[in-house]
Chains A and B, each alone.
Chain A
Amino acid sequence: MSVHLLDRELDRLEGLWEDGLSDAYRSYLDAVAAYEPALQPKLALAAALVEMGLRLQGLGGPAAAPPTLLMGDLCLARSSRLLAGAAPQSVQITFARAIEEMSAAAAAGRAAPATRELLLRALEAR
């Protein structure tokens, strides 16, 4: 899958690519194989950005320092933009519900389900 397709989506996030984002991206590629080819990289990146964003923010653990939190926020926002443009409505909703579930658990001090597991399930909601 060509990363050039994702240039615009990685604007300002390039530094994260080598810092775990590319690995996360690759791990979602199989899960998006059933989608139209043009949508696959965007959906895989959307999932990877959620995973990376929540990790940067420190959701469910010690809070990130403000600049890192803001980078995490940008990852979530970029993911949302990708989904708005490329994902079926059902996937947009399931992604949002996954984040709701994880953040509600974090706010309550409960252990949250694994992010990747939830997002892989969300990608099946087409």
Chain B
Amino acid sequence: MIANRVRFETTHTTEFVDITNRLRDEVRRSGMRMGRLHLQSLHTTLGLAVNENEPLLLRDFEGMLARLAPANAGYEHDDFARRFDIALDEPVNGHAHCRQLLLTGFATVLVEDSELVLGRWQSVFAVELDGPRHRELAIQLDGEFASPPRSPGKAAPLAKRARNGGGNGAGNIGHDLIELELARQLLVDPGPVSEPMRRLVEAGGKRLRPKLVQLTAGIGPRSEPLRAASLAAAVELLHNATLIHDDYVDESTHRRGRPTVAAAEGPERAIAVGDYYFAKATRLIAEIGNRAVTSTIAEALDAICASQIDDVALRGRYPGDHDSYLRVVRGKTAALFAAACASGALLSEASPEIVASLRRYGDLLGVAFQMVDDLVDFSPSSGKPVGLDIRQRVLSLPLIYAAEDRKVGPEIRRLLEGNLGDAEVGRVADLVASSDALERVRGEAQALVDAAVRELETIELDGWRPTLIRLAHSAVDRLS
């Protein structure tokens, strides 16, 4: 028996890759006369099919898959807020997994007289469902060989995976390091502070900021995964510390599906826990011993706190305007995204040009992320109550746009001036949804992501570009 791998790159989101000739070559090189060629996809979004290679028919197949599992049908798999152990490079691809279920991951083709046994119109396809990507198929040739089987090629060690491939690649290893570091840090803290923080950390979260640290810390010449994990965990703790205080300020009762620290244990405990992890995170960062990194994070923290003050002040002029919104969001959300990207790159001693580009990438991504977060407030399938931002008078771009709308704006502004009970919040949410505000915000977020991706085009990223691009797209694909 001979085992081997067939590797190829796909170039489209959905693509039928005809691998028949590749398989014929494998049979020829092996010297097999009679037997079976077993074929297995090594990915959960790459299927196999035996059918006719006729371009219009392939378009028919593609259309059929899109009809049966539409990309925008809303898949629970894509709700990262509710998932655990999300890989570093996790894409939004519930539809692709569902489409794969309609195909097969395994195939066997008979071999006779050293030829594949296929009908006149039959070809073997690898069906890309979430491309473009690097893909691998495992094959085994089992039967009678004309001569002792020769290894048709050097197989890569199974443990070694491409950075941007599926499975347990570098992304998962990095993710595990962050989780281990977070757990390790919480383990040594006193119970009254660590227990509330552990509940928050274990409740999930997308871990976008630590992911950005870890990705960008691999870019420069000095890549040290453990230092990067320490910085990434500190950034996540800092983010969570700000959330604990925010939840008290916003009077939020739940976060990530669990009671907030303020709601469960009172505001005094929430203030103490937030302060503890603010201090601990800044200490962990200081202990890394890179002044540029320390300053980058400290400046972001200053911007976050200043914007929080602006945010609360703007609630008196609710819903505010586009410029005020952008100013607040740049500080409140984008500052830490930008600092995460810049600090990772600084840690790895990347060049100033790369640090600057990644900082801009993070800033644009952070603003886009917040805009999509605003859209989630109007999505019935998000798992959160619709209109929570309206009820708490939190700045929201869809609401700002809808309030400026000639048709629905006057009623929205009138409702916002009064008390916001369930009926009023529901009515405002309906009015926003009936306007073009959601579409405008989605378009604006997409444009920001496109701009973020363009920031990556001119710099050398040591192979991390595809992952950073996917991460950027995932920020706006949360609703698609």
**Which residues does A use to contact B, with CB under 8 Å?**
12, 54, 57-64, 66-67, 69-71, 73-74, 76-78, 80-81, 83-85, 89, 92-93, 96-100, 102-104, 106-109
The residue in chain B whose Cβ has the minimal distance to the Cβ of A72 is B271
The residue in chain B whose Cβ has the minimal distance to the Cβ of A90 is B286
The residue in chain B whose Cβ has the minimal distance to the Cβ of A9 is B302
Contact A69 B249, CB 8 Å, known A63-B268, A84-B298, A107-B276: yes
Q: Are A74 and B305 in contact (CB under 8 A)?
A: yes
Contact A74 B276, CB 8 Å, known A84-B291, A84-B298: no
Indicate with 1 or 0, residue by residue over B295-313, a CB within 8 angstroms of chain A CB atoms: 1011101101110110010
Q: Are B295 and A58 in contact (CB under 8 A)?
A: no
Residues of chain A contacted by B279 (CB below 8 angstroms): 96-100, 103
Q: Are A103 and B272 in contact (CB under 8 A)?
A: yes
> Per a CB cutoff under 8 Å, which of B242, B273, B287, B305 touches A103?
B273
Smallest Cβ distance from A92 to chain B, in angstroms? 4
**Which residues does B use to contact A, with CB under 8 Å?**
189-190, 192-193, 242, 245, 248-249, 266-276, 278-280, 282-283, 286-287, 289, 291, 294-295, 297-299, 301-302, 304-306, 308-309, 312
Q: List 19 A-B contacts (CB under 8 A).
A: A12-B309, A62-B268, A66-B312, A67-B309, A70-B249, A70-B312, A73-B305, A76-B278, A81-B298, A84-B286, A84-B298, A84-B299, A92-B282, A92-B283, A97-B279, A99-B275, A99-B279, A106-B272, A107-B190
Docked complex Cα distance between A13 and B309 (Å): 12
The residue in chain A whose Cβ has the minimal distance to the Cβ of B193 is A107
Residues of chain B contacted by A89 (CB below 8 angstroms): 286-287, 289
Q: Are B271 and A57 in contact (CB under 8 A)?
A: yes
Residues of chain B contacted by A59 (CB below 8 angstroms): 271-272, 275
Q: Are A92 and B245 in contact (CB under 8 A)?
A: no
> Per a CB cutoff under 8 Å, which of A73, A81, A97, A104 touches B192?
A104
Docked complex Cα distance between A67 and B312 (Å): 7
